[in-house]
Structure 1
Amino acid sequence: MDDKDSSKSINRRTVLKMAATAGAAALVSPRVVMATGEQPVKFGVDNPLTGTYAITGKNELSGMELAVEEINAKGGILGRPAQLIVEDSTSGDAGVAVQKAHKLIDRDKVHFLIGNVNSGLTEAISQVAYAKGVFMMDPGGHADPITGTECHWNVFQTDPSTTLLVNAIAPNLIKRFGKRFYFLVPDYAFGLGLLKAYRENLKKYNATDLGADLIPLGTTDYSSYLIKAQAAKPDVIIILQNGQDQTNVLKQAVQFGLDKRFQIAGANIELETLEALSPASRIGNWVIEWYWNQPNVPHVKEFVEAIKKKTGRVPTARTWFGHTSIRACALAANNAKSLDAVKMARALDGLTLPPDVALQPHPATYRANQHLLIGTLWAGHAQAAGSAPDDLFHIDAVIDSKTIAPTIEEAGCKMTWPA
């Protein structure tokens, strides 16, 4: 214990003696305890703030910051203030992300590890969290193995898996547009997982895979890939990029006029992407993982207004990922009445989130013995403009994820818990 910690401990002992004199009731109020210098409950955020996924990482951080403000306004976690400690994982360097995970756990002594937008980085840092027995929340890395073949008792996934995303849209694309598909795929865990799920759907519905290009993360010129896709003469060109890559490829697809000759679609699209595009480039059929324009869903309006007050913009799915992930961690600790990782994981295992945390029409539950959040997905199409400046996605179907989710056995999760 360093001098600073010793000083805080002395202050706390003094306060406890004073409280005992005044009566035990004084200890009950979380605000009183927080005011006496209690050590914070630390969230170590290992997420991109630079590179391809910078904007999505920053929006997740805005949601996390709001969640911490809300938690502390309600008395904190176990009467202790919540605190974010933020590290830039970069958008694609697993070595940096792992290094930051070790720093957050070993030096900063965080109680929760939070990350990552990049699925490959999520997988890498989850191995660190598992080895060290630290509770980890994945807000935005979608790859199936995170809560599938590589699932761990201490790792939870707020964002939908790659298979959930594809199952929410692929059958409808085949039904509406035809059976010949060509794929542009980011060459890492996220893109490969989406491609695998698409191929399973094509096989199921007797559709044809005309080919796939595996494209490095951070590519700026997609012309050669778009020419190959055009030459294959598909019914649908599937674009699986995300972040700035998604923005770049959609701009170039419109410049090539591909949207006039082929159906353009994919898996998830980010509101961040749609905001960055010109109205003419807001094209295609997609899944959106959370949407701000839900007029009849309790608590959504209040969340939207709180984020607008904080950032000047409506929340995106990424903002919701960050907010819900931190609020879920707080629920785990407060319900367990402990910061012990095993006890917190047990408390969140199978928990259905309250409406003010879920912010969606269908129940949102961290599936027991898998830890993937099963809730709501929205399928639809991009639109140049809607009912408000940020209403850039038209919802065609609201999907209860449990109707399209693979079973735990199909996902490959064989979770084991510490004795």
Structure 2
Amino acid sequence: MSILEAAIITGLEHTVENTFAQNPGAYDPGALSAKVIFSPSSSDSIPNRQLLSNRPQSEETSPLEALAIGLAAWSGQTEVLKLLLAAFDQPGPTKAPMKLLWGPPFFSMARVVDDWLPFQHRSWELQSISPTVFALKSGGALSLMLKHGYKPDRVTMRAAIADFDRDILKTLLKSLRLSNFPDYIQGPLSYAVRYKKYDVVRFLLENGEDVNEDNHHVNDEGDEFDESARNPLQSAVENHDLYLIDLLLKSGADVNAPAPRRSGATASQIAAITGRLGILRTLIDHGADINAPGAEFGGRTALEGAAEHGRIDMIQYLLAIGARTTDRDRLQYLRAIRYAQMEAHEVTANLLREETHEVSSSLTLLGDNMALKHNEVEHTSTKDSSDQLDPDEDVHDLTEEMELPGDLQDLEIRTNDPMVFMIEEM
């Protein structure tokens, strides 16, 4: 914090004047944002124009300068906002703690300033966001920012959904957006679906929001699956929300949208894993592929997921309508048996074993089982660890002392280490 910023925060005019007198060319972005918050009056000793005149013209808009723009919009200082927008011709992001953005009162002064210390100087983790989030209480201020090239991001869209001012939200929907920024935030439609905001979902769809909104980027590099990575239909299926499933399908939702890369699932895989037979039938009626591959990391096919969770009726249905268990899909079938065993679903495993007549030979089946067991990694489950079955205990295993046939080497190459699909067992 500079001396000039500290003087502005304390409100001591003579200190501000003395600081400026000693250094007439003084400028720093923190002082500017502090002035917008703590000294909004145009009658103070150091006008904004004088402070801005000292700014190096070649610099890009800094996060604190973008914050000053946002705070001017938030506090209703229209003339100051116009002045700042004219001074900073390169739109840029600002930084703010996420804890300020949710819950009433939205961005109250008590949240921005605590004990006379602005949030940017407190020990909070700051995140890059669009300053348009500060302008949601004023359509005029928002329009000014949009005209000067500022684009709403997913934080702004989520905050607008929370307020659900239809005029503001419609303005945002018509504007250019930072579609995947920030990359840890779920898109507006998926967010509204996930939290069952029915009026918002209808409004978004009526105003052209993409029914197949992509959230693959959310926590894509994380170690654990983030439910925010699901698209709208996948979120609706996970919630077993028949109304939203029907609404999304009628709006053109893609039933075969791929699973998020890390432990995600397609809509039909979620229905199979959670045992929602009626929902799965609806999805299949709309063209869902029951043999779609699982996620790249930790995924499950519909058959594998149903077996792992002991969904006997689901397995019977999947097999009856064409879940593939032979040829290049033989590995899916063998994994399904193995996952059922590892969760102690022996009835499920036995049901699947009845399909062995579809495999070319018992020797091939035994060899495949050996290849599967060899490639398996340490098993984790949505169940409590105390209920897990040790993969080496009480497991039906016919592969002892059998040699792996040479024609299965391609299966070993194509086998990813199976990891458990992380989804809450309903």
Q: Identify the structure with the greater helix proportion.
A: 2
Report which of the two structures shows the higher radius of gyration computed on alpha carbons: 2
Q: Identify the structure with the greater strand proportion.
A: 1
TM-score normalised to structure 1 length: 0.25
TM-score normalised to structure 2 length: 0.25
Larger RCO (CA within 8 A; separation ≥ 6):
1
